[in-house]
Amino acid sequence: MSHDTGGQHVPTVNRSLDKPVYGNFHRYYHIRNPAGLDSSASTTDVHPALALDSRVAAILRYFSSLPEGLHSVTTALDVGCNVGKLTIQLAQTLAGQPESGELRPICVTGVDIDPSLISQAREASARARSLYRPNEQLETQQAETASHPASFAAQPHLPVDAAFFPSVFPLLFGAVPAPRRINDRDEADADTKKDSVHCACLCPPQLDFVAAEWVNLHSGDAPSPFHYDPHDLSRLQAADSAGYDVVLALSLTKWVHIQQGDRGLVKLFARIFSVLRPGGHLFLERQEWRSYHSAHGLDPTMRSKIKTLQLRPDGDFEWLLDSLGLTLVETIGYGTGLGFSRPLQVFAKRKETASLLATTPQALPSIGLLSIMTCPFAKFAGILPASAAHVRALHGLDAAPISDTNARGLSLSDALRLGTARSHRAVEKSRGVSLLLQTTATAADAADEGLSFDRTDYTRFNIMLACIYTVLESAMISARSTPLIAPLFEDPDLMAGLARSAALLADVHAHLDTIHAHTGADLTDLADHARDDHSTSSTLPEDTEDPLARARLLVLVQAATPHALSLTRDVKVPVLGEEHIALLRPAQVHATLAYVERLTHIHPDLLLAHAYTRYLGDLSGGQHIVRKVTKRFPTPTGGFAFYAFHNPTHLKTRFRSAMHAQHLTKAQMQEVVDEANTAFDCNTALFESLLPAHWRQPSQDTHKSTALHTSTKPTQLPIAAWIVVAAATATITAAWLAHSPSPAILA
């Protein structure tokens, strides 16, 4: 049996499974509430049949806001297209800008794991094609579109000609046959030419639907219960090799994640990266973790599969994508309807990644991405296997000096990302991080083991950060004329947007006010109570009270405060005083003072390494932390200004640009990387100081730490989720890593 899709023969496809365990719902668009027109559109002038899926409307608005519009878009891939409703709308609206009086076609490919859904998608495209305006009126429509090229892409609805006939006509009279392909026909065949132009956006190759298990298309690692047409697979592989300007992964990640595990999800992201052209866009609509449990009843194995997953959509996904080279641009919308309020995020493939990767996008899939990827962090160690040679090459990056030869033009940010890999792992494994990010439930379990972390402890943590940022930002102002720091100040308002000292001071007092409102204890009461607890003797030197260290910390911070606050011109914020410092435990004073003194003693140019570790961490991983702590330590007003940035993605881009403004020698780059590792060590010490003394002492009782690690595993910090392509690392190691020591010449 075959389906008539407008004259195109489609082979028989096998029936899909009884339960949609792959997310292959056959009435998906009946379940998902249909989206109306964009709120900015005039609904009185638009026929309901022209209404767009809200995600397509958001994508159109995004491209219309770009200076280049659709000029750079020629190909698009929709992974997990279901019955193709959204894919068809995308093909109808992403028709490109007019060239020579005709619309430049954009090739759109929809792929789904279920062949029966692809069969329905092909039928749907034939029905959509049948509703268009007759050919004899086509020239007028083209002329109107050509005279208004910008507005065409911006319209939040289908082209008016797409609903010329009633939607019932294809059911009553059959679909209009697809036009014959035309190659160098003469003028006598003009009608057929018109047919081709008229239906081009809804006919192969401009719109193509293929049934395939796309994640493992090249490797076949995950056998599918479905059978696919070899010719279709070859056509899809050829399209993948050519690359795409746009990839859509909408409401797909949950099903790949459940069925193929953490490794399958990482491979999905790696596949997307490999087929996207530099500068291309990924539109990702991820399902939240809480929605995973709705899949329990679909199959007896689903529950056990979900229990094995370590990665979480909230935080980990963005870090995985960013580490591969896909930078989050912005969130352009949210789904509508019960259960479908999911963020629609735009990621852009960094153009400079083309020089970092030694393999072309066409070749990447053929060598098996998972086999060449590795991750140095405990959370992902079992997800991304690598050879011993790859592990040694990667983990040695922060110990080996940088070579004179940098044939591939690695930037300082690339060197820092690779060179601090081991230090990232140390932060991610810190027990203090786990303590900070506990949920309310796991906090109760940890409290039984003497690991309580309440609002006063969180206030102490903010005081420590306020000390560090105050001294850092004051030192950077003093160093603003040095070669590496100057570009940060030459970008107008960049440092004002990054500066955190004033925000931290405001947060400290917001939490102190909340404590006072709940307990009646003010800052003086809290400081007096803390002084009573300070030990004058301890088995660990850092836990012994040192009044001179406490006084020195206060002097350094107060001397730096006016300078630091001048960045944001916020002089109304209460500054840190003796009682604030008195709140800190001896170990916290020790860790904070060591960090502050490091900032005051290093060469001014090396402050860039500390700015890199702190600000980029705040702009990325800090956004995960704030979601945890706001739930655990809510305040009536404020309290979390430290994590609030205006347009974080833009700030990250500007910061990296400023980092790359100066050309560095091999010794200078090596010193910056070394100092960044020191900054991570200082940061790890801060987190460890949050723990009570008996938890920081080496213990022979390995069971003693079980409660902290076990209870906090689901909420471990994902900010260390750096993924490095080991094949690229192995290729470039010989080019820019040397095994002889480099002289320090930063002076």
- Digit-coded pLDDT (tens) for 137-165: 544 544 454 444 434 444 566 665 665 55
* Pair 380, 265: CB distance under 8 Å: no
Higher pLDDT, 374 or 98: 98
> Does pLDDT of 122 surpass 70?
yes
Q: DSSP assignment of 193-225, as one string?
A: HHHHHHHGGGSTTTEEEEE--GGGTTT--S--S
What is the rounded CA–CA span in Å between residue 232 and residue 620? Answer: 40
Q: How many CB atoms lie within 10 A of CB 445?
A: 16
> Does pLDDT of 726 surpass 80?
no
Length of the chain as a residue count: 747
Residue 29 is predicted with a pLDDT of: 62
Average pLDDT, the chain: 73
Q: Judging by beta carbons within 10 Å of its beta carbon (0-12, 13-18, 19+), is residue 308 exposed, middle or buried?
A: exposed
Residue 317 is predicted with a pLDDT of: 85
> Does pLDDT of 13 surpass 80?
no
Using DSSP's 3-state secondary structure scheme, residue 637 falls into coil
194 confidence band (pLDDT: 50, 70, 90)? very low
Kindly state the average pLDDT of the residues 435-446: 60
527 confidence band (pLDDT: 50, 70, 90)? very high
Residue 700 is predicted with a pLDDT of: 35
Kindly state the average pLDDT of the residues 30-51: 50
Domain ranges of the chain: 3-181+191-367
Residue 649 is predicted with a pLDDT of: 77
Take residue 29 and report the two structure tokens written for it.
């668009």
Residue 676 is predicted with a pLDDT of: 94
Residue 700 is classified by DSSP as: S
Using a pLDDT cut of 70, give the percent of the chain over it: 63
What is the rounded CA–CA span in Å between residue 416 and residue 97? Answer: 41
Q: Which of 8-22, 141-155, 351-365 has the lowest mean pLDDT?
A: 351-365
Q: Cα 488–489–495 angle (5° rounding)?
A: 75
Q: How many CB atoms lie within 10 A of CB 718?
A: 25
Which residues sit opposite 348 in a β-bridge? 281, 327
257 confidence band (pLDDT: 50, 70, 90)? very high
* Pair 54, 60: CB distance under 8 Å: no
Higher pLDDT, 392 or 195: 195
Kindly state the average pLDDT of the residues 705-732: 31
- Order of all β-strands in the sheet with 343-349: 207-211, 107-112, 75-79, 244-250, 276-285, 343-349, 326-334
> Does pLDDT of 351 surpass 60?
yes
Take residue 157 and report the two structure tokens written for it.
């609805």
Residue 5 is predicted with a pLDDT of: 40
Take residue 202 and report the two structure tokens written for it.
């809804």
Q: Which of 9-13, 337-341, 444-448 has the lowest mean pLDDT?
A: 9-13
What is the rounded end-to-end Cα distance, in angstroms, of the chain? 78
Higher pLDDT, 245 or 33: 245
Residue 179 is predicted with a pLDDT of: 57
Using a pLDDT cut of 90, give the percent of the chain over it: 34
Residue 656 is predicted with a pLDDT of: 87
* Pair 1, 12: CB distance under 8 Å: yes
Using DSSP's 3-state secondary structure scheme, residue 77 falls into strand
Residue 235 is predicted with a pLDDT of: 92
Residue 172 is predicted with a pLDDT of: 59
> Does pLDDT of 597 surpass 60?
yes
> Does pLDDT of 606 surpass 90?
yes
Kindly state the average pLDDT of the residues 109-121: 93
* Pair 468, 589: CB distance under 8 Å: no
> Does pLDDT of 108 surpass 90?
yes
> Does pLDDT of 465 surpass 90?
yes
Kindly state the average pLDDT of the residues 503-517: 95
What is the rounded CA–CA span in Å between residue 134 and residue 298? Answer: 46
Q: Give the 3-state secondary structure of 521-550.
A: CCHHHHHHHHHHHCCCCCCCHHHCCCHHHH
* Pair 723, 372: CB distance under 8 Å: no
Take residue 689 and report the two structure tokens written for it.
């100081």
Kindly state the average pLDDT of the residues 74-89: 91
Question: What is the CATH architecture of 3-181+191-367?
Answer: 3-Layer(aba) Sandwich (3.40)
- Provide φ and ψ at 209, rounded to 5°: -120, 130
**Residue 331: enclosing H or E segment and its boundaries?**
strand 326-334
Residue 153 is predicted with a pLDDT of: 44
Ranges of H-type helices in 566-665:
578-583, 586-601, 607-619, 622-632, 648-659
Measured CA to CA in angstroms, residue 88 lies from 110, 121, 708 at distances of 9, 8, 51
Cβ neighbors of 424 (< 8 A, separation 6 or more) are: 376, 377, 680, 720, 722
Residue 447 is predicted with a pLDDT of: 55
> Does pLDDT of 460 surpass 90?
yes
Measured in whole angstroms, the distance separating CA 81 from the mean position of its chain's CA atoms is 22
Candidate ranges 6-15, 325-334, 437-446, 456-465; pick with highest mean pLDDT? 456-465
Residue 298 is predicted with a pLDDT of: 82
Q: How many CB atoms lie within 10 A of CB 193?
A: 15
What is the rounded CA–CA span in Å between residue 212 and residue 217? Answer: 7
Measured in whole angstroms, the distance separating CA 646 from the mean position of its chain's CA atoms is 17
Take residue 705 and report the two structure tokens written for it.
């730490």
Residue 516 is predicted with a pLDDT of: 95
What is the rounded CA–CA span in Å between residue 9 and residue 155? Answer: 34
What is the rounded CA–CA span in Å between residue 317 and residue 711? Answer: 22
Kindly state the average pLDDT of the residues 184-201: 45
What is the rounded CA–CA span in Å between residue 533 and residue 385? Answer: 48
Residue 577 is predicted with a pLDDT of: 94
Cis amide leading into 205 (omega within 30): yes
Residue 496 is predicted with a pLDDT of: 93
Kindly state the average pLDDT of the residues 8-27: 60
Kindly state the average pLDDT of the residues 185-190: 41
Q: How many helices (H) and strands (E) does the chain have?
A: 33, 13
Cβ neighbors of 331 (< 8 A, separation 6 or more) are: 343, 344, 345, 346
Kindly state the average pLDDT of the residues 597-620: 93
Tens of pLDDT, residue by residue over 546-586, are: 899 999 999 999 999 999 999 887 657 889 999 999 999 99
Candidate ranges 78-82, 126-130, 412-416, 695-699; pick with highest mean pLDDT? 78-82
